[in-house]
Structure 1
Amino acid sequence: MNSYSLTNDLILEILSRLPTESVVRFCCVSKRWASMFVTPYFKELCLTRSTANPRLLFALAESGGVWSFFSSPQLENPYEKSPSTLVAHAEFHVKFSPDNLHIHHYYDLRYFSIGYASGLIYIYGDRYQARPLICNPITGRYAILPDRHTYRKAYSFFGFDPIDKQYKVLSMAYPFGPGRSKILTFGDGDMTWRKIKCTLRHESRSEGICINGVLYYLGYTSHARYVIVCFHVRSEKFTFINVERFCRLINYKGNLAVIYWEDDVDIYERCSGTPMIVDTYLEKNLDADANNELRVWVLTDIEKQKWSKYAYTWIDEKFFRRRVSIVGVTATGEIVFSMRKYTPKEPFYVFYFNLGRNTLQCVEIQGFGEAVTKSCSVRTFVNHEENHNVNDLKQLKSVHPPLVEPEYAESDSESD
């Protein structure tokens, strides 16, 4: 059938159901198709479909700075399906290893940053040599950001403004050393680091999480108290929320929440670092005692800084506290835990914990072995949505592996 006999809306309706990799390839079909894919209508159509079918995103970090990206269906209300262990297949997307970018995550975890926001991943490795980058884990395209040399415990974060549709990287300097905090706006124009001022001196003590245009992370002040730093991505202003103790931040149904194990504080004091360092300590001390007393605080009133507090305890034969990380919450409210390490020929599990029922559902993820043959660490992200607001061909210009640049059909050259 000649495509010109179909209306544009019908063509877009059909194409919006395809994976992102296919959409990127189909930009090469003709100028007509390439122009349709960047329209607000098509982007909104794809976002609506992606939001309705969120996925788990897995980033497997192999030796030598090689990353492999997979995704699998994210179970919503998994308890309605079966009480036994379920199985989900991980779809392989791309093996990502840009040359000479030093994105190794295991040399010094105090300085390694990885962030996720609205479909893209930000990675910053070795603080002396690395070039920070933003990549699309589905297509493998990436953009290398300008150099950002930092001192000691500097940390960086990745956020998205849903109003102006802009991604920004926030780099917070170590408060007791040289250098200034800076911010970079990722877009079509010239990307440069701009100085930014924060009124509260603090160290960064967690990775960031972006909720409705606000980037949150845990800070530790010079007065030995914890605060949640709130960076408003659009206005580039800081506000702060007091919090009593060390914790991890999660998005609970669109609201900020904190989550922690009862013995997290003792472990943290031994490690003196970020949650990633705590996780590494747990991996090396699997035989140490660990209790499954989980605490969840949901911020119910941001103005008055009021929290609703909950506590949960459970036992499951497949759930080993020392081997999993808290990775987020689904739209229906299940807390998701994921194993931190993948070992070939051994099962890899993701767990869904339902707060209302106090029940745990185990899901075995299969398919990593199709591209990964050695043991490696795994970073898992919940509620992954493919964001077509990013123009892969224009903003994410670097490609790994190399792809052929778009060549348009001759039949369109004159009419378009």
Structure 2
Amino acid sequence: METRRRQNVSEEEDLQTVSLDNTRSSTLANKGEHSAERIPTDLIIEILLKLPVTSIARCRCVSKLWDSIIRRPYFPELILTRSMARPQLLFACKKDGNVFFFSSSQPQDPDEKSSPVAANYHMKFQFDGYSSQFSYSVHRLIFIKFMMVICNPSTGQSLTLPNEKTIRIHVINFFGYNPVDKQLKVLSMTRARSGRNRPTEEHQVLTLGGTEKLSWRMIECSLPHYPQSDGICINGVLYYKAVVYGFERRYGIVCFDTWSEKFEFLGKQVLSSKLVNYLGKLGILHLNVNDHMVELCVLEDAKKHEWSKRIFGPPALQNDIAANVTLDVVGVTRRGEIVLSECYYSEFVSLIYYNLERNILTKVEVQGLRTFRHWEVHTFLDHVEDVKLGGVFRTT
């Protein structure tokens, strides 16, 4: 009898357990909860960290929980740390009234055995007309100058900037980042189109990233000048080639501090050179293919205007890698490699890496851009993906 009573009690307990499980399942179903919401948060983060940034942006639609995880302050920092370890090449291609963005892995210490890299499509913008002012990268964002658009190709977000407050018709814009206040800034200069040898007349700044409505404000410029190149932003300072007006015209580099918003003239002759970021310092790179020489000047002390100078003679400029082609300087990688490209691509898009220490050149083919080989292609080195949402952007 005792044994039978124990069996009955065990059966009742089993039935109660099944009943509770059924009730719990019914409750979850009635609440419309998804199985994904029962996944531990740590595991969700591990899943997200293995996805490309474009996919992470879409994962906000999975559930409120996933959206809240992606929007937490520490999560973008995890993505940024991961991306910093794997910098990419970013390509902006202008064709048939559109700007197309592609990215690929960036070769690390390439040699003659390096495999081609494959370009992956991200997004595109439509534009009307033609302009020689294209785009450049600042703080992981791309500024499309002729459209006045700032975009994040990784997430598909973009922001169209308001028009400047001016009656002038000739406008020049630069994009910079102030690491002190962690603010993005657009510097705009205007002048009448007539009077080619006249300096800019109005100077305005647009600050992005705050909660207030975007609005241009006038600033003073005590240095009469006119820009003659695109800008490059290094450690919060914008550098660009310019002609400065006074008792006589002088050519050199003008720098604009994005924190103090003051202009200064460096006075370095750079007419046929390229401004580059060389290991965190301003560099002036001059390529002379005819003499097989590369000259690199680096600003060692900005306050004292002290420069260092190095001259290289890469023998590979004489061989088949660079024979019978016109080369352009793309920039310098954070590893210190000079990257060149063909000005006019014939069969395919390719990049030429020059290792200064080993004194060798290596050509790397980029697959997936054959359609754009006769069009305008801009390459950005060491591009890092950033998943930060909101702020200055709205999703396109």
Quick one: distance in 2 between partners of 1:154 and 1:52? 38
Rounded to whole Å, the distance in 1 between the matches of 2:309 and 2:107 is: 25
Query: Which one-letter code corresponds to 1:253 in the other structure?
Result: L
Per-residue deviation, 1:221: 0.6
Residues 325 and 138 (structure 1), Cα distance of their counterparts in 2 relative to 1, 3 Å cut: farther
Q: How does 1:78-157 map to 2 (within 5 A)?
A: 78-79=110-111, 83-84=112-113, 86-97=115-126, 101-102=127-128, 104-105=130-131, 109=132, 112-125=133-146, 131-148=147-164, 151=168, 154-157=171-174
Q: Which letter does structure 2 place at the counterpart of 1:202?
A: H
> Matched residues in 2 for 1:340 and 1:8: separation?
49
What does residue 170 of structure 1 align with? 187
Distance (Å, rounded) in 2 between the aligned partners of 1:196 and 1:321 = 48
Residues 373/298 of structure 1: CA separation in 2 closer, same or farther (3 Å cut) = closer
Superposed CA deviations along residues 173-200 of structure 1, whole A, max 9, x for unmatched, are: 3483675111111235311111122221
- Say if 1:340 and 1:70 are closer, same or farther in 2 by CA, change over 3 A: farther
- Work out the CA distance in 2 between the residues paired with 1:234 and 1:178: 21
**1:195 aligns with one of 203, 213, 218:** 218
Deviation readout 1:100-159 (Å, 9 max, x if unpaired): x53633xxx3xx24221122111132xxxxx51112223433211112367466421111
Partner of 2:277: 251
Q: How many angstroms does 1:329 deviate by?
A: 1.1
Give the deviation of 1:317 after TM superposition: 1.2
Per-residue CA deviation, residues 307-365 of structure 1 (Å, 9 max, x unaligned), is 1211123323132585332111112110111234455xx12210111111221111011
Q: Which of the numbers 335, 342, 356 marks the counterpart of 1:332?
A: 335
Name the CA distance, whole Å, in 1 between partners of 2:125 and 2:279: 32
Moved more, 43-52 or 239-248: 239-248
Give the 5 Å matches for 1:213-362: 213-222=236-245, 223-246=248-271, 247-262=273-288, 290-314=290-314, 315=317, 316-319=319-322, 323-342=326-345, 346-362=347-363
Check conservation: 2:119, 2:367, Cα contact below 8 A: yes
1:7 Cα deviation after fit: 4.3
Instruction: Indicate conservation of the 8 Å contact 1:340/1:377, yes or no.
Output: no
Deviation at 1:85, TM superposition (A): 5.9
Distance 1:229 1:158, change over 3 A: same
Contact 2:80 2:384 in 1 (8 A): yes
Bigger Rg over Cα: 2
In the alignment, the residues of structure 2 paired with residue 29 and residue 339 of structure 1 have an alpha-carbon distance, to the nearest angstrom, of 44
1:73-100 alpha-carbon deviations (Å, 9 max, x no partner) = 1112223xxx256411111112322xxx
Residues 1:396 and 2:386 aligned together: no
Q: Secondary structure at the match of 1:25?
A: helix
TM-score (norm 1): 0.76
- In structure 1, C-alpha distance between the alignment counterparts of 2:102 and 2:201, rounded to whole Å: 37
Relative contact order (alpha carbons < 8 A, sep ≥ 6): 1 or 2 greater? 1
Please list every run of 5 or more consecutive structure 1 residues that lacks an aligned counterpart in the other structure.
126-130, 263-288, 400-416
The AA in structure 2 aligned to 1:384 is: H
Equivalent residue number for residue 204 of structure 1: 227
Change (3 A) 1:398 1:320: farther
Indicate the RMSD between aligned Cα atoms, in angstroms: 2.6
- Percent identical: 38
Deviation, structure 1 residue 256: 1.2
Cα separation, 1, equivalents of 2:240 and 2:372: 34
What are the within-5 Å matches in structure 2 for residues 20-31 of structure 1?
20-31=53-64
Structure 1 pair 35/352, CA: closer, same or farther in 2 (3 Å)? same
Task: Give the aligned residue type for 1:87.
Answer: P
Which residue number corresponds to residue 71 of structure 1?
103
Whether contact under 8 Å (1:113, 1:207) holds in the other structure is no
Q: In the alignment, is residue 46 of structure 1 matched against residue 79 of structure 2?
A: yes
Q: CA deviation at 1:58?
A: 0.5
SS in 1 for 2:335: coil
Q: How far apart are residue 164 of structure 1 and its match? A: 3.3
How far apart, CA to CA, are the structure 2 residues paired with 1:347 and 1:24? 32
Q: CA 1:153/1:311 → structure 2, altered by over 3 Å: closer, same or farther?
A: farther
2: CA distance between counterparts of 1:228 and 1:208? 10
Unaligned segments of structure 2, at least 5 residues: 1-33, 192-196
* Structure 2 equivalent of residue 274 of structure 1: none
